[in-house]
Every structure is written in C-alpha cells, then in structure tokens.
Amino acid sequence: MPAGPVILTIPSEIRDPLDAACFVLPEGAEGVLVDMRAVQWIAPVGVVALLAQCLRGGEQNARLQVVLPEDQEVRSYLGTIGFYRALRDQGVPVDEGGFDLDPGYRARPHLSLVKVTNSFEVDQALGVLVDALDESKAPAELVIAASIVVSELTDNAVQHGTHSYVVAQTHSGERSGTPGIHMAIADFGPGFRSTLEAYAPASEVDAIVKAFELGVTGTRERRGVGLSEAQESIDGYPGARLAIASRIGLVERTDRSFRSAEGEDCGGVFVSVYFPYIGGQPAVPPGSPLA
C-alpha cells in the first residue's frame, strides 16, 4: 500500500448504531487502513457496520488493509462469527493465520454473518435463527418476536437498500450488562428520508418514526406494515430494544416510546435489535470480553 493511507481507527467498544458512525470511509480515498487493534468488545451491530464499510471501500476501488484486534478472544470471535470469511468472499484480503487465535474458543453464534440479497435469502437466514433459538430452549414468545422483527427489517433493507448483512449473537451479560440476544442488520440504501420522500418528512429522524406508522410505505406495493409489526413485537416483549441509525438520524424504540438523536452520517442504515434472554447456554463463554 502506498505511503500515507487514510487511517480509520475503530474504538475499543462498539455497542450501538451511533458507535458505528465512526466507521464511514472517506470518499475518494485510494488507500485505507482499518485499524481494529484497540477493539475490546464488539456487538453484532458493530460487526455488520464494520463489514459493510470495508466492502464499500472495495466497491470504491480503495486499497484496503485490515489490522485485526490485539485481543485474542475478540479475534477468535470475529473468526467464529464469519467476519473474515465474509471479507474474503468479497475480495478483501485478510490473513488471520498470522495472528494468535484461541483454538479453544467455543462461542457459537445464533446466526453467523450472512449476506442477504433477496426474499428467499431472508427466509433462509430466518430459518437458521429460529432453529438456533429453539435449540437453546428460548421461550416461544421470544422466538416469535425475534422472527417478526428480523424478517420484516431484513426484508425492508432488501427492498429499499442494496444487499444487506444480518447477524445474531447471544451474550451472557458479564461485560455488556445486557444478557440476551443481540441482532443486527446493515445496508447501504439511501436512508429513510429519501425512501419516504413522498411523505415530506422534515428530517431523517422524522422519516424513521414515520416508517413505523401502519400503511406507510416507500414502495409502490401496498404493504406498509413491516415496521409497524416490528414495533408491536418490540412493545410486546418487556425490555426489548430496537435502534435504527439512518444516515444522520438515530431512533430508538423501547418501553413503548421513541428516543431520537442526530449524529454523523453513518453511510447507510444500521439496525440493532435486543431481546432480554436468560436461559439455555450463553453463546459467549462467561468472562469473555464479548459477553
């Protein structure tokens, strides 16, 4: 790589969509070094956001170099969840063999990082997630709620964005403080405000909130029920949380109410979904920096 590449430094913790705003690659950069050395804890939304930005750099013909985390468990987790494989599949070189991975690492994601490009692949990903939840003896109400939210949000991303990426992981909560299942979806669509321009939203935040209304749609099809059903599932499951970062807007739905903020342009749409879940075997070993 030529001297003087743009350095994109990833913070030590990536917990929610706003944390992912720092991942945006600069337009027109010929060389980018993605420095992950300091990462100590990364939630699923960080995994999909980081992958999406690396692939976006590849689409812009930027020469990418990914420097993996110094933490052994974080490196092992990223390998287990499919981060390195997804990069290589899209032509981004990663040589994790030069790093010390933990051969005894036993984390098993509920849904490894997967690229989704159409409704058939949405159904495939959903089937894997449901089977994993059933195997871990998750309560039926959680399986139903998670299925609705992931199905509708992933299908929404495919319809309005480009391809999308989805992943799901259970955390024990020892480090995160949030035991349960965390799911994430990312796409490079134009964002909610552009998609719903027919409704003349005043801002990106207004557009995200508008999308939850029954009957609102950004397509010519008479659907407009996706986010409304997702909202019902979140509202009906105590402690559940849904956060959507779309371009500069962030909206969180929890406790039957919306919270909103604005930040840096995240370059697309990143969704984080959380359902409290205690029971079965946590997918991340107790004491892990990812727990």
Q: Do 288 and 107 form a contact (C-beta atoms < 8 A)?
A: yes
Of the listed ranges 51-65, 73-87, 239-253, 272-286, the one predicted with least confidence: 272-286
Percent of the chain residues topping a pLDDT of 90: 25
Tell whether the model's pLDDT for residue 67 goes beyond 60: yes
Q: The whole model's pTM is what?
A: 0.85
Residues 130-171 pLDDT 10s: 998 888 888 899 999 999 998 888 888 787 656 788 999 887
The Cα-based distances of 291 to 40, 107, 178, 282 in angstroms read 11, 10, 9, 9
* Mean pLDDT, rounded, of the chain: 81
- Give the integer Cα–Cα distance in Å for 188 and 92: 18
Higher pLDDT, residue 183 or 26: 183
pLDDT grade, residue 236 (50/70/90)?
A: very high
**CA dihedral in degrees (268, 28, 63, 56; nearest 10)?**
10
